[in-house]
Structure 1
Amino acid sequence: MANSIYIEYNFKVSPVQPASDILIAELGEVQFESFVETEDGVQAYIKKEDWNPTILEGLPILENSLFAIEYEYVEIEQENWNATWEKNFNAIQVGDKCVVRAPFHEKPAVEFDIVIEPKMSFGTGHHETTHMMMQHILEIDFKGKSVLDMGSGTGVLAILAAMRGASEIDAIDIDNWCYLNAMENIQRNNCEQIKVYEGDASLLIDQKYDVIIANINRNILLEDIPTYVKCLTPNGVLLLSGFYKEDIAMISEKCESVGLKFENNFEKNNWVAVKYVF
């Protein structure tokens, strides 16, 4: 794959929270695909082919008087991503058993040591949604289970499921760079039971899984939940994240309409990760 050109936005946000989280969610709705949270805001990335100079016009948070947001943008080559994330990427600990780190970090003394080189893909454990999904995975028995990681990004959730004992895992992402990056990370963590595919929920024909993990934005989840349920085995588990606490009612209504039951959720900075059972 030839190097893509990305547009990098550097947002300075006040107050940083919750504005940064809201900003990331709204940017995701207009095809921004990767984010780095900084001390004073957010760096956001979008492929130049998906970008236009007026893309931020009408973004609600930019018109909200409660927040002060300044930004500038530049074009970058894909290979320059490494320098950006190495500068900002710190190892992340999830509970007392799991660490997500980059190759240049020291190896920790934990049961689940995940080495991720994220490049332009989402999913390092830094964002609340990824972190909480990993909390769910650490609490579920994955031994011998079949798993789907939908919107897999770096592959970090699929990798943790593999380390927890899952026997067969499909990881799917619509973005080519995520697909390639997940392949690299899966090989790096020796998870041969994971197969990676480039695409969306249309790939889920006649598939069955014991656990489905989907960390995607709210609107895609609402559209795809019926498809996920068709793929769940009896007593299967559906883990959903990528939305806010106030969206739980809407997500749960959709889930309950197709036979799922709410079990529990984690919450962090108004983001949530919810567990449903079939």
Structure 2
Amino acid sequence: MKNKIILIVITIFLFTLNGCDSKELSNGSNDNSKIDVIVTFNPMRELAEYIGGDKVNIEVIVPDGVEAHDFELKAKDIMNISKADMFVYNGFNMEHWVDKLLETIDKDTVIVEASQGVDPIIVSEEEKDNHDNDHKHEGGYDPHTWLGLSTAIVQARNIKDALVKVDGNNKDYYEKNFNEFNKEVNELLNEYKTKFELLENKSFVTGHEAFSYFCRDFGLEQSSVEGVFAEGEPTPKKMKELVDYCKKNGVKAIFVEENISTKVSETLAKEVGASVEVIHTLESRGEKNYIDAMRENLEKVYDNLK
């Protein structure tokens, strides 16, 4: 009788255990075979997905359509980051709330400042002052590092190194993915460096001054309707300067990022006889991955400058 009772208890225990396992797997949130990575916004997801592949679960904090530098953390975000294996943010004050966050999260979480090691582009004092007044934090560097191909490689390497630190057993897998990314991006970089070098027109006009690292890679000169931190519509003086610049340099297209108002850019384009062309910033998830989106950007910019 005693042995029978023991057998019943063991059976119930095993049944309960199996039930719990099935529930966890069906939810997909407790797959212990994958690394839990939380990233701040979509460009970091693009890079982490490329390097991490099927070895990572990725969660994005900032919703599509919300600016990372305007976002405010919620308590649940802090809790989720604390439980993650790895947390990736862009840096250069793209996410002004990160410094306070890092004081609160679990020390076991591997922290990745993706822009670490990037040669930063310093914003003008006027831009910095405007940004400080609006956001009450310093903004000395242009944070749009992922839009430069050479700087995106640095970011991808930082993410790869962190994944190796967290999951050394899959080091070869992460190294292979990074090497493929590095090869593809460098091929794209070198191809278009040669193309842009042969062009006389290097004048690249955008709705938002987010492409300084992109321009540095290819020797282009950027002029923009809005500044680095997109602080609203330009003054009449700035608008006149842009009109004069476009006419003087024969600008054929004003490039605007997806999912934002193009009203001012359309006004400028109409004034100078240019078209308005959409260009990817990857701040919202689209159908194209990082490399395909950047290839399309390059093709579009080149075609409108040649």
Task: Report TM bin, short chain.
Answer: 0.3 to 0.5
Instruction: Look at both structures and tell me which one has the larger radius of gyration over its CA atoms.
Output: 2
Q: Higher relative contact order at CA 8 Å, sep ≥6: structure 1 or structure 2?
A: 2
Which is helix-richer, 1 or 2? 2
Q: Which has the higher strand share?
A: 1
Give TM-score, length-normalised by structure 1.
0.34
